[in-house]
Amino acid sequence: MAPSAKKDTTSRARLSAVIKSARDIMRKDAGLNGDLDRLPLLSWLLFLRAFDALEAEREVTGEESIIKPDYQWRAWADDETFTGEDLLSFINNELIPYLRGLSSDEPGDPRNVLSQVFGGVQNRMLSGYLFRDLVNQIRKIDFNSSDDIHTMAFLYESLLKEMRDAAGDSGEFYTPRPVIRFMVEQTFPKLGESILDPACGTGGFLVEAYTELAPQATGRMLQQQLVYNLRGIEKKPLPYLLCMMNLTLHGISAPNILNANALRKMIADTSPSTQVDIILTNPPFGGEEEDSIAKSFPSGYQTRETAWLFLHAVIRKLKPGGRCAIVLPNGALFGEGIGTKIRKKLLQECNLHTIVRLPQSVFAPYTDIPSNLLFFEKTGPTKEIWFYQIDPPEGRKGYSKTKPMRYEEYAACAEWWGGEERKERRENDHAWRVLISEIAESGYDLNILKPTVEASLPHHPPVDILKEIISTENSITATLISLLEELDSEA
C-alpha cells in the first residue's frame, strides 16, 4: 500500500471512530430523538470547530477575529473543566444568542453567515455532561489538517445520506448522487461562470460543481472567484445548516448560500446583474406555494404548483446564453392551462435540446413519481428536442434504498450525448428526436414516450411480424363487420 493510501486509511479509521463515539454519546441523551435531532447538533458543532480553524488563520495574518474571544471555540471547548449545567447554560443562553445576533452591512461578511446558520439552531441536549463528552470527541478533529478535512467531508456525505433516508420517511427526499454528477457533467461548467441552485438542500449540486472545477482554480484569485460563483438558496433552516457544513468540509470556507424562499427571491430580483450562467437544481414538486408567492408572478403564469413556478423563475434567472439542468416530474411535462403557457414560454425563449427520461423508481422508496432531466440553453427558440430513455439494467425491475441507481448506468447516455457541441447524435433504441412543429401541434405536450412499434419491428422475426399484421387486419375487419351489421339493423 502506498504511503498516502495508508495515511488516508488511518485517518478514515480514526475519524470514523470519533464520529461513532459522538453518535453513541448523543444516543444517551434524552433530549435527542433519532438522526433528525442528532445530525443537526453534530453539524453546528463541527461548523464552529471548522470556523475556529479559520479564525486562527486570520490571527496569523493579522486580520481581526470575527467572533469575540469569550465565544470562540477554543475559549470554552478546550476547557475540560467547563461542563454540566454551567456549560449547557452558556451554550443555550449566551453562545447561540450571540451568534444569532451577529450582523454586518458588508456583503460576504462571515458575521452574516454565522447569524444565518445559527438563526435556526437549537440545542436539544439535556445533559451538560454528555454535551462535554460530545465536544471532547469533536476536538479530536484537526481542521488545520487537509487529511482530516478531506476525510470528514467523505464521512459527512455518508451521514447526510442517512439524514436523507430519515427525511425521506417524513415526506422529503433529495437528489441521488449519480443523478447530480451526470447533470453537472452534461452541463459542462467552466471556471468563471456563475452557478446557482435555487433549491440547494444539503448542497449536492454545488459540491459536485466545485469538485469538477476546483482542479482548474490553480491560484488564490481563481479559488476565490470559484467560491463566489457557487450560489445557493435554501428555504428550510435544517437543510441550510447541513448545506453550510457540507460546503465548508469540501473546502468552501465562505459558502455563498442564502436562507430564503427562492421563488420570492428570484421573482423579485429582476436586474440583469442578478442573472447567472448555469442553474443546476431539483426543485420541490408535488406541493403548493402560498398565494402571496403565486401572485408575485406575472399575470397568466400564476399558479401554486411549485414545479411550474420554479421552471418559470429559472427561465428568467438565466443570462442570455445561459444553460440549465433541472429535474422535473412527468406531471410538469403535460396538462393544459398555465402549465402549457410555461412550457410554451420555455420552448420559445430557450433551446430545450435534451430530455432524459429516468426510470420510474430512481427516487424510491420516497416517491415513485416518474422524473425527467431537462437540459436547455437560453439561446433562442427550440427547433427540435432529443429524448433519451434510461432503462434499468437487464434483470432489474427498479431501484430501492438498498439497491439505488448507479452512476455507470448513465454511461451510454453520456457517450451518445456528443460532447459539449452535441455532435453526431443518432436515433437508437433509447434515443429519438421530435421536431418543434409536432410539439406545438400537440399543445406543447412534452410527455413523449419512446416510439416502440417502429423501433421493435426490425428486431422481430418476419413470421412474427406477419402474424401481428394479420391479427391487426382481422381485428379491423371484425370491427367493420360489426359496424355494418348495426347500420343494416337501423335501416
Look-up: residue for cell 450562467? 277
Q: Domain residue spans in the chain?
A: 3-161, 176-452, 460-490
Q: What is the pLDDT of residue 398?
A: 78
Q: What is the pLDDT of residue 376?
A: 98
CA distance 117 to 47: 9
Strand spans (E) along 76-203: 195-197
Q: What is the pLDDT of residue 430?
A: 95
**Farthest CA pair distance, the chain:** 104
What's the rounded mean pLDDT across residues 334-346? 91
CA dihedral sign, ordered 250, 256, 260, 266 = negative
Separation in Å, CA 178 to CA 160, 164, 375, 424: 15, 15, 16, 25
Separation in Å, CA 102 to CA 113, 119, 242, 247, 410: 9, 10, 20, 21, 45
- Topology of 3-161 in CATH? Ferritin (1.20.1260)
Q: Rounded to 5 degrees, what are φ and ψ at 201?
A: 55, -125
What's the rounded mean pLDDT across residues 406-417? 95
Residue 170 has pLDDT above 70, yes or no: no
Q: What is the pLDDT of residue 50?
A: 86
Same fold yes or no, 3-161 and 176-452: no
Residue 3 has pLDDT above 50, yes or no: no
Q: What is the pLDDT of residue 487?
A: 58
What's the rounded mean pLDDT across residues 459-484? 55
What's the rounded mean pLDDT across residues 215-226? 91
Lowest mean pLDDT segment, chosen from 4-13, 170-179, 275-284, 350-359: 4-13
Q: What is the pLDDT of residue 474?
A: 54
Lowest mean pLDDT segment, chosen from 4-18, 61-75, 270-284, 316-330: 4-18
Residue 372 has pLDDT above 50, yes or no: yes
What's the rounded mean pLDDT across residues 181-195? 97
What's the rounded mean pLDDT across residues 246-272? 87
Residue 168 has pLDDT above 80, yes or no: no
Strand spans (E) along 263-397: 276-281, 318-329, 351-357, 371-377, 384-389
Q: What is the pLDDT of residue 80?
A: 95
What's the rounded mean pLDDT across residues 445-457? 70
Sheet with 195-197: list strands edge to edge.
256-259, 230-234, 195-197, 276-281, 318-329, 371-377, 351-357, 384-389, 431-435
CA distance 190 to 203: 19
Nearest C-alpha neighbor of 262 from the set 251, 274, 254, 245: 274
Return mean pLDDT, the chain.
86
176-452: CATH homologous superfamily? Vaccinia Virus protein VP39 (3.40.50.150)
Q: Which residues pair with 435 in a beta bridge?
A: 384
> Model confidence over 90-147: pLDDT tens digits?
999 999 999 999 988 887 788 888 888 898 899 999 999 999 999 999 999 888 777 7
> Model confidence over 432-450: pLDDT tens digits?
999 999 999 999 999 998 8
Q: What is the pLDDT of residue 485?
A: 52
Q: What is the pLDDT of residue 9?
A: 55
Q: Could you tell me where the DSSP H helices lie in 188-260? A: 204-213, 220-229, 237-249
Instruction: Identify the three-state secondary structure at position 183.
Output: helix
Going by pLDDT thresholds of 50, 70 and 90, the confidence category of residue 457 is: very low
Residue 464 has pLDDT above 60, yes or no: no
Identify the residue with better confidence: 474 or 1.
474
